[in-house]
Each structure stands twice: as C-alpha cells, then as structure tokens.
Amino acid sequence: VLPFPSQVIYNRVGKCGSRTVVLLLRILSEKHGFNLVTSDIHNKTRLTQNEQMELIKNISTAEQPYLFTRHVHFLNFSRFGGDQPVYINIIRDPVNRFLSNYFFRRFGDWRGEQNHMIRTPKMRQEERYLDINVCILENYPECSNPKLFYIIPYFCGQHPRCREPGEWALERAKLHVNENFLLVGILEELEDVLLLLERFLPHYFKDVLSIYKNPVQRKLGNLTGTVKKTVPSPEAIQILYQRMRYEYEFYYYVKEQFHLLKRKFGLKSHMGKPSPRPEFFIPSPLETEEPINDEEEDDKKWLENIYKR
C-alpha cells in the first residue's frame, strides 16, 4: 500500500485555469514519476450509466500512482463498486468564468486566433460577433439558464437533477466537496492553491510553485489567456449575477472553505491587495488571514482522514 493517495482525479472545470495546471502536471509527472492520464474528450461531461462504468473501469486500471484529468462531472466510483479516488479541482468567479468562455469560443487565445475557427467551425459570423450585452439583455440561450448553470454540476455529479439550477444540486455539490474532494481552490488565489497542493500531495506537486513562477513557464501560461474580451455593461452584469445566484452561493461556499483551510495551516496569502469588489458581488463571508488553533485534530491526522475517504 502506497503511503500517499495513488489515485487522484482532477475533473477540471472549463475556463478555470485548468490548461495552466495541466501544463504544470506534464512537467511534474516527468519530474516525480507518476502516471498523468489525460483525455482527448473535452465536450462530454455528462455520461450515461454505461459510459460511467466504462470510464471508471478505464481509470481504475491505469498504472498507479496516477493523476487523471478530464472535463467531466463528478463520478461516484463507490456506486459501481470501485475505490473512491482523491478529487481535486479549481473554480473561479462565475461571471468571469462565463465571460472567458464566451469570448474563448469565438476568438480563442494568444496561441493563435485561427484556433477558434477549428474549435467552432459551424458558428455563423453573426453569432461569432454577437455583442455580449445583446446576448445577455435579450436573453439568448447562451447567456441564460441552463447554460449559465455550469460549475455546480462538476461537483453535484451525473444525476439528471444536477443539471437543474436549484437548491438540490447546490446542496449535493457542497456535500461532495466536503466528502470527496481533498482540495477545491479558487483561481483568483492560484499560488495559494499550488502551495496547498504541494503540501497535501507532495508526491505529485512538490516544487510546483517554483515551476509555475519560472519565466519560461509563465510565458507559456500567458498564451492560454482568452483574447478580445470585453466587459458587459453594469446592467448586463447585474442580470448575469441574478441568473447565477446558485453558482455564486456555491463559489462563496468553496471560497470560505478554502480560506478556512489556509488559516488552518497558517498560510499567508501571496496575493496582492484585492481590487475593490463591484456592487453586484455579495461580500466574502471570510476576510481574516490569521492562523487558527484546532484542538481536535492535528494536521497529519486531518490529511490521513482525507486520504481514507
């Protein structure tokens, strides 16, 4: 039995920094000798029962230790008689994630604008250049639910109700975060996410922050930034916020848990001074960065309990 989790899944949420993290994982897998299992399927997150069984079988038989990564909604291995792996993930502010995806589908990133033509060859020109404000204010399908209900299903899972915006999916997603995820970080504090991953999963992430800060790696990471992004009007953003209220409740829940975890391990943030939060954002429920004392369990025991889940 390996003295660390030998099965890790990063069910990467779209437009939440996952391409940067995968670039890092490719370097780390060669450096530390773990099996990085990636998928070429990027547009099928919801699976039939047979597809779930087949994917779980393929993942479970991979050479260990492995880290599997794919855009896919949470899979319950124990439902099909398998050992539940350790899950990790990263999310970001829902409106910012939506805007990044909206313009990425149309214009790609700095690696080459021609890539967007390959990615969306059937998109009509009037759709490609559709003004973001028109899309939101006139309630185009791409800018309304269920399209906007995007992050929660990655944690809620494969149940049909996970695709329906509402309390049921929200609470199920929170439950899975608590019971199945070693860490869910937020992209706005990526350096702190990497620091915690290095601490919790050193066999996979040792030296990840120094690699991330390497100028060559930074240059490669910058190429994945979406181009031609514009900011919607305040009225349009307010409408988006209302439509994404469940996404924001989940985002701030995850952010609070992440900050509690940072405090638990006495981690000082590497972020600069935060920018003023626009009026339409709800206030963060946790602002303090002071370490806390936990009398009930020490750090090592806490990690062991996570690994046993």
Angle, CA of 234, 153 and 69, to the nearest 5°: 110
For the chain, the helix, strand and coil percentages under 3-state DSSP, each to the nearest 5:
50, 10, 40
Contact 75, 52 (CB under 8 A): yes
Contact 21, 204 (CB under 8 A): no
Angle, CA of 244, 247 and 250, to the nearest 5°: 150
Q: Specify whether the backbone of 185 is left (phi greater than 0), alpha (psi in -120 to 50) or beta.
A: beta
Q: Which two tokens stand for residue 149?
A: 């209900």
CB atoms within 10 A of CB 58: 12
Start-to-end CA span in the chain (Å) = 15
Peptide bond into 278 cis (omega under 30): no
Catalytic residue among 32, 42, 71, 270: 71
As a whole number of angstroms, the distance between CA 227 and CA 230 comes to: 9
Q: Is-catalytic flag, 32?
A: no
Could you give the residue ranges of the DSSP H alpha helices within 181-285? 190-200, 202-205, 208-213, 215-222, 234-243, 245-264
Q: Which two tokens stand for residue 232?
A: 């919607």
Distances (CA, A) of 13 to 28, 45, 62, 98: 20, 10, 22, 12
| Catalytically active residues, by annotation | 71
